[in-house]
Structure 1
Amino acid sequence: MVGLAGGGVFGPAPVAAQPTSDEIRAWVEPVVPVAFDRFREYLRLPNDARDVEAMGPLIDWIESAFAERGFDTRRLETERLPLLLAERRVDAPAATVLVYLQADGQPVDPSAWRQTNPYDPVLRARDADGRERDLAWSALEGERDPDWRVFARSASDSKGPNIQFLTALDLLDGQGVALDYDLKVVVDFEEEMGSPQLPPAVEQHSDALAADMLVIFDGPPHYSGRPSLKFGARGIATLTLTTYGPRVPQHSGHYGNYAPNPGQRLARLLASMKDDDGRVTIDGFYDGVELDDATRAVLEAVPDDEAEVRRALGIAASDQVGGSLQEAVQYPSLNVRGLSSGWIGDQARTIVPADATAEIDVRLVRETDGDRLLGLIRDHVESRGYRVVSGRDPTEAERAEHARLARLDGSVSYAAFRTDFDSPPGRWLEAGMRRLFGAAPVKIRTSGGSIPISPFVTTLGVPAVSVPTVNPDNNQHSPNENIRVGSFVEGIAIMVAVLSQPLRPIAQVP
């Protein structure tokens, strides 16, 4: 049932069975080898969304997986890759739950991996001396070490959660557990590209996607590994900033001290955007973000060990944007994610480069508008004496007229979202996790990373909460991405617990 806006009491219907923690773990254990077999098959399917044709087998696989489990499936076509919508209804539903899954992954550089093919998963153990060794997959059929790991692209982000979810559905169906809500699943195949097709697709298919709440199975929990719920995520905008020197690279002996060096100019320009403590100095960048005492209490309740965080990161001190890690991610960020000018290493040359480029990401919070922040950055560049162009390189006339030239191209992928702890999905998911673990999960107000959920929240008008189920040290987006065997198995149990939690006792669904 959809459209319970304003709050209401659910009508009469049988309450779904609630397996105990011991029952859930007893159900999960026998299916672990089969789940890993399915996982290996799925991991072998390339999922770089930049290659539209190569994504076909992956889309077919996941659509078939849902169809085999009794879901009605349809592809929501876009200008590029589709979204997949799978739906399974029940009699007299208490509500409609929409689940978001991501199936694409970051590009791979095989030369940087400790295996020949990042899409061919490898099971590894780490010995006491820290050395890794490959294991036969049959090792999972016997006594297994929860610290063994599966290495492959998207092992954690996010094919692992996909298989955890499918396995949880199989267990609930096999045990005859009746859900008391309609279940919709939307699978995104362009998340790592910023889900550019998602906002118009949600707008176009809002009736098909309509739900009372959104649950996201994605990402790692609190870095301590404690069970967690995440009630928000930052949005993201990206921009490319290029400065210009001579029309083509020039001999540094002939023209050094004469032709302006774009690398040095870019370095000064970037340095002008932040102070030595890491705070953005662009006027108005943090406007609207205020943390009151109640919010700070919520942030302080997260069990961070910041000395351990710094040790794990290999840093002696953190930036001082906020008073803590949790406080820092409540603010928008400006991050230089890549730099390029001239050549380095064996290819280094004695030249004045022709240009220098910085790739920048801006993480957004609910109080900040991405287009406004991009505008502030442009204003700042212009305030430093630059003529700024967009969508093209400077013309010859502009080169002749302006001493400082920059190109700035930026776009907002999606906004941030944040849901109240006491929202219906928050109470529902917490109840399921309490049943499994016997204690409340760590509740995180806003995670630092970004997921493309705001189009659902704003267009469909639904609250959203994320359930993370993979290990924090998974190397997502990087070479040697992995998922810990124990985390994979625990994630199945978490999904069984939350999906089997009755929704009917939740009195209000906005």
Structure 2
Amino acid sequence: MRRTLLAALLVAPFSLATAQPLRPQVDAWRKAHEREILDEAFAMLAIPNVASNQDDIAKNVVFLTNAFAQRGVALTPLRAPTGGSPALFGELRAPGATRTVVFYAHYDGQPVAGGSWDVEPFAPQLSRYRNSVAVEPVSLPARGDTVDPNVRIRARSASDDKGPIVAMLAALDAMKALRKQASVNIKFFLEGEEEAGSNHLGDILRTHKEKLTADAWLFFDGPVHVSGAPQLVLGVRGVMGAELTFYGPNRALHSGHYGNWAPNPAVSVATFIASIRDNDGRIRLPGFYDDVPAPSAADRALARAVSATDDSVRASLGLARTEADNAALGERIMQPALNIRGIRAGNVGGGASNAVPTSASVSIDFRLVPNQQPARIRSLLEQHLTQQGYTITRDPTVSARSTDRSRLVLVQYDSGYTAVRVASETPSVQAVKRLMTRSYGREPFTLPILGGSLPLFHFVEQLGATVITVPTVNADNSQHAPNENLRVGNLWDGIALMTELMTGLGKEWPASRM
């Protein structure tokens, strides 16, 4: 009996009733050091980080290595034998810790070419916003002064995903200043090609598997709830993208002479789109939903809670209605989706000409839920094209030699990856949820699956990892778009939360020991 009671006491969670939030102390420290935090953030954001530019990636590696070294964390580049940008790995061991947790973020960013930025993408500045639009610049605070938390940092990767790295660094500073010890062994993993498809990530994880052993991975990527409330995410959808090119005559033809005679590839694209997706987003590929599980009652309840602000989101986007008769957003992102990313055929406006174009292209992406495999989606897509009478090619030069261009379609894919989901009752998930509640002063929304996609499957397949996504940045951050931004208040939230997680997880989620 005594043995059973002792074991129960050792594994019992640290009670929220007795635990005191660390946030007031962290906030007090941060208010005295806002200028220093912002200076470091600006220095990091000023370094271009497009994943395809290895010279710039190398500069980011140097900056991050120095920044973490100043906090006593030695970062080591982890490389794949097949090449690619390195991931950066560091470790902070805690005396007596029985758990090891990895903090993940990525330091590479999206391209900026061709975007209509109001400022230079890698010249960060503070701006005041109104209705998600920058209205005036704001000066950096003097040392010891504070800045309005609603002001935003505008720069590429401010929110996706250097902002969380800034929060990690500041959390380490706060712990040192407040003399707080980590309660778990902390490993840092900073990926260098997430925005380029993570093509070498699987090889990195496989090659360095022993270093990366952990009880859980915390992914600091993606936005909080659109209302500004905290959000805990249990999984992400998978993704599979494709580019299709349809062909017409081998030279442009006058539409008056040939317009209702020569096959028009723009019409082929439009007909193809209508054949695979209806106006309410249902995917028409035969057999597509055969491996899509029905959401559980618990998941539907979580989705409805997340969707409480749908009406205000519609209004902010200028939409009187949304698809499927104003279906709840939380429920929709638990289902697979097909997005039309872009269509190209001829010209419009002043560049339009009365001609039948020679080719037309469409770019699409599927968002996948657990159990769906990219390879099967590719097979279903090609079966559908074949049934429509098309000959599929992977060779873009074939069209020049084809004697029946109008029945030819060039299909090219990205690599794609599967969805990942962790159960809400998992002890690590519940521990993170309690600490988020303590830090934010309110319980976070729990989202069964994130609408966007992250390559989490690599961590599950290669490491058997438990992956929990903990977003910290504002929802209207324009990630992947011009004028990407990070609300300063969200950065402050991230610093407080990471400090709470680093110091509290070992108490909330102790390992069972006799």
TM-score normalised by length of structure 1: 0.91
Q: Which residue of the partner structure matches residue 161 of structure 1?
A: 164
Tell me, yes or no, if structure 1 residue 44 matches structure 2 residue 46: yes
Q: Which residue of the partner structure matches residue 120 of structure 1?
A: 123
Rounded Cα–Cα distance in structure 2 between residues aligned with 1:125 and 1:396: 53
Rounded Cα–Cα distance in structure 1 between residues aligned with 2:103 and 2:130: 38
Are 1:43 and 1:121, in contact at CA under 8 Å, matched by a contact in 2?
A: yes
Are 2:21 and 2:439, in contact at CA under 8 Å, matched by a contact in 1?
A: no
Are 1:332 and 1:368, in contact at CA under 8 Å, matched by a contact in 2?
A: no
Aligned partner of 2:411: which letter? L
Rounded Cα–Cα distance in structure 2 between residues aligned with 1:103 and 1:69: 18
Which stretch of structure 1 is more off in the superposition, 406-415 or 319-328?
319-328
Q: Which residue of the partner structure matches residue 71 of structure 1?
A: 73
- 1:209 is paired with a residue whose SS is coil
Instruction: Label 1:222 to 1:111 Cα distance change in 2 as closer, same or farther (>3 A).
Output: closer
- 1:201 is paired with a residue whose SS is helix
Rounded Cα–Cα distance in structure 2 between residues aligned with 1:9 and 1:202: 36
Q: Which residue of the partner structure matches residue 217 of structure 2?
A: 214
Tell me, yes or no, if structure 1 residue 326 matches structure 2 residue 330: yes
- 1:428 is paired with a residue whose SS is helix
Q: How does 1:34-433 map to 2 (within 5 A)?
A: 34-78=36-80, 79-109=83-113, 112-115=116-119, 117-126=120-129, 132-138=135-141, 142-288=145-291, 289-320=293-324, 323-394=327-398, 399-401=402-404, 403-433=406-436
Aligned partner of 1:71: which letter? V
Instruction: Label 1:143 to 1:186 Cα distance change in 2 as closer, same or farther (>3 A).
Output: closer
Are 1:302 and 1:444, in contact at CA under 8 Å, matched by a contact in 2?
A: yes
- 2:205 is paired with a residue whose SS is helix
The structural deviation recorded for 1:246 is 1.6
- 1:236 is paired with a residue whose SS is strand
The structural deviation recorded for 1:101 is 0.6
Tell me, yes or no, if structure 1 residue 486 matches structure 2 residue 486: no
The structural deviation recorded for 1:360 is 1.0
Aligned partner of 1:178: which letter? Q
User: C-alpha deviations, 1:229-255, integer Å up to 9, x for none?
Assistant: 111111211111110112233333443
| 2:509 alignment partner, one of 477, 488, 506 | 506
Instruction: Label 1:77 to 1:20 Cα distance change in 2 as closer, same or farther (>3 A).
Output: closer
Q: Percent of counterpart pairs with the same letter?
A: 34
Are 1:214 and 1:425, in contact at CA under 8 Å, matched by a contact in 2?
A: no
Are 2:51 and 2:193, in contact at CA under 8 Å, matched by a contact in 1?
A: yes
Q: Which residue of the partner structure matches residue 3 of structure 1?
A: none
Q: Which residue of the partner structure matches residue 451 of structure 1?
A: 454
Rounded Cα–Cα distance in structure 2 between residues aligned with 1:410 and 1:145: 45
Q: Which residue of the partner structure matches residue 25 of structure 1?
A: 27
Aligned partner of 2:214: which letter? A
Instruction: Label 1:131 to 1:424 Cα distance change in 2 as closer, same or farther (>3 A).
Output: closer
User: C-alpha deviations, 1:96-145, integer Å up to 9, x for none?
Assistant: 11111111111113660112x11001211247998711122236853532
- 2:228 is paired with a residue whose SS is coil
Rounded Cα–Cα distance in structure 2 between residues aligned with 1:29 and 1:212: 33
- 2:283 is paired with a residue whose SS is coil
Rounded Cα–Cα distance in structure 2 between residues aligned with 1:276 and 1:495: 42
Instruction: Label 1:234 to 1:259 Cα distance change in 2 as closer, same or farther (>3 A).
Output: same
Rounded Cα–Cα distance in structure 2 between residues aligned with 1:129 and 1:91: 45
Aligned partner of 1:220: which letter? P
Aligned partner of 1:43: which letter? L
Rounded Cα–Cα distance in structure 1 between residues aligned with 2:390 and 2:144: 64
Rounded Cα–Cα distance in structure 2 between residues aligned with 1:140 and 1:316: 46
Rounded Cα–Cα distance in structure 1 between residues aligned with 2:377 and 2:41: 41
Q: Which runs of 5+ in 1 are unaligned?
A: 1-6
- 2:141 is paired with a residue whose SS is helix
Q: Which residue of the partner structure matches residue 438 of structure 1?
A: 441
Which stretch of structure 1 is more off in the superposition, 350-359 or 321-330?
321-330
Rounded Cα–Cα distance in structure 2 between residues aligned with 1:183 and 1:290: 37
Are 1:215 and 1:467, in contact at CA under 8 Å, matched by a contact in 2?
A: yes
Aligned partner of 1:364: which letter? L
Rounded Cα–Cα distance in structure 2 between residues aligned with 1:322 and 1:312: 15
Aligned partner of 2:55: which letter? E
TM-score normalised by length of structure 2: 0.90
Instruction: Label 1:18 to 1:77 Cα distance change in 2 as closer, same or farther (>3 A).
Output: farther
Tell me, yes or no, if structure 1 residue 474 matches structure 2 residue 477: yes
Aligned partner of 1:125: which letter? R
Rounded Cα–Cα distance in structure 2 between residues aligned with 1:129 and 1:432: 30
Are 1:371 and 1:412, in contact at CA under 8 Å, matched by a contact in 2?
A: no
Are 2:140 and 2:147, in contact at CA under 8 Å, matched by a contact in 1?
A: no
Are 1:387 and 1:405, in contact at CA under 8 Å, matched by a contact in 2?
A: yes
| 2:464 alignment partner, one of 461, 464, 477 | 461
The structural deviation recorded for 1:496 is 1.4
Instruction: Label 1:152 to 1:403 Cα distance change in 2 as closer, same or farther (>3 A).
Output: closer
Which stretch of structure 1 is more off in the superposition, 199-208 or 496-505?
496-505
The structural deviation recorded for 1:198 is 0.8
User: C-alpha deviations, 1:348-401, integer Å up to 9, x for none?
Assistant: 33322111111111111112111111211111111111111124443555x215
Which stretch of structure 1 is more off in the superposition, 117-126 or 295-304?
295-304
Rounded Cα–Cα distance in structure 2 between residues aligned with 1:282 and 1:246: 28
Instruction: Label 1:248 to 1:311 Cα distance change in 2 as closer, same or farther (>3 A).
Output: same
Aligned length: 499
Rounded Cα–Cα distance in structure 2 between residues aligned with 1:130 and 1:406: 41
The structural deviation recorded for 1:331 is 1.4
Aligned partner of 1:118: which letter? P
Are 1:431 and 1:501, in contact at CA under 8 Å, matched by a contact in 2?
A: no
Are 1:9 and 1:507, in contact at CA under 8 Å, matched by a contact in 2?
A: no
